[in-house]
Amino acid sequence: MEFFLVALILLACAARIADAAPALFVFGDSLVDSGNNNYIATAARADRYPYGIDFPTHRPTGRFSNGYNIPDYISQKLGIEAVLPYLNPALTGNELRRGANFASAGVGILNDTGIQFANIIRMPQQFAYFQQYKNRVAAIIGRPATERLVAEGLVTIALGGNDYVNNYYLVPVSLRSLQYNLVSYSNYIISEYKKYLARFYEMGARRVLVLNTGPLGCSPAMRAMRSLNGECAPQLMRATVLFNTGLRNIVDQLNNQFNDQIYTMGNSFLSTEDVFTNPQASGFSNATTACCGQGPYNGLGLCTPSSNLCTDRNGYVFWDQYHPTQRAISVIVDRLFAGAPTDIYPVNLRDLMNLDVESKSSMTNQP
């Protein structure tokens, strides 16, 4: 009898701990896609070896990584299991209460970004799925509890890189490059991004992590295709600065608009000074070449079973032509949670998650 009572108490405690853990809602592109694209007909997929080679199952999962990705490590920090892709049929019942991943590799801020991939889940559809998700959860726990789940959870979004590499710079003379110079284009996509970020507030989110874009010109793909001597491609580095500066500005603007600390901007990559000038100081041996790929810097084409594959994956910063390795991602997320303003601005995730959302849940949009 005593054993039975103890078991009941332990189960009740576990349920309360699960209820106390915040939900995670993930939006954006391949940096944070955990497998949604596996459920749609698209070329933007990571569903074959050697993707997932260092995942616990040693099988591809749809993550653009050799193992875990950014949402996985954020989930671990939050004390929850990795949230499932929204299109995964297993996302039902209590699984919904942990949150969901709506991200889709290939998408951008603009709807014409990633057109070469055809069928991807563009941002309007990701928001539509989020509303659908809220309705499904409300049918289980009620509308007020659902709104609190969203308000007390963490929204994470990664967008912007594809709007350059898979739009503006996709071909030597793109339609967008004929319409805009680089500064005007960057201002345009930032203004469009601000609308999406504001929509999270309108849908009840009160903690939003906005990941900036990494040093686009330093990716193996851009070193291989757009640099003369293997240096970080200057045009793409300028694009990175323009985008990230604009993103920081709109984070400040939105926090001021809503008169609260809602949004914070985090680095989606290790800082250029740390990793490219002295990779050994960060525990890496190679910061220029992809672990998996072919051609100069392993930066041409996709990572496939026939690609070159490094053996020391923990020593590489880049997994494929654009995406960081699992180990690099773990360092990135550590800094998102406990880093200084140079890593995440204006507050790190540890502090953001400790902020009280009581007043935020009842706030209304300020003019």
Question: Is the preceding peptide bond at 346 cis, omega within 30 degrees of 0?
Answer: yes
Distance CA 325, CA 284 (A): 11
User: What SS3 state is found at 324?
Assistant: strand
DSSP state at residue 165: I
Whether 361 is catalytic: no
Amino acid, single-letter form, for residue 23: A
Q: Is 30 a catalytic residue?
A: yes
- Please tell me whether the peptide bond between 234 and the residue prior to it is cis, using omega within 30 degrees of 0: no
Residue 197 CA to residue 162 CA, distance in Å, equals: 17
Alpha-carbon distance of 347 to 312, in angstroms, equals 34
Within 8 A by CB and 6+ apart from 159, the residues are 27, 28, 29, 107, 108, 109, 123, 193, 196
Catalytic residue among 34, 65, 307, 323: 323
Annotation says 323 is catalytic: yes
Exactly one of 29, 163, 274, 320 is catalytic; which is it?
Answer: 320
Task: Say which of 30, 34, 186, 268 is annotated catalytic.
Answer: 30
Query: CB-based contacts of 88: which residues, under 8 Å, 6+ apart?
Result: 35, 36, 39
**Can you read off the two tokens belonging to residue 42?**
């698209």
> What span, in angstroms and rounded, lies between the C-alpha atoms of 197 and 157?
9
Please return the burial class of 228, using the count of CB atoms within 10 Å of its CB with bins 0-12, 13-18 and 19+: exposed
CA–CA separation, 18 and 274 (whole Å): 37
Catalytic residues: 30, 320, 323
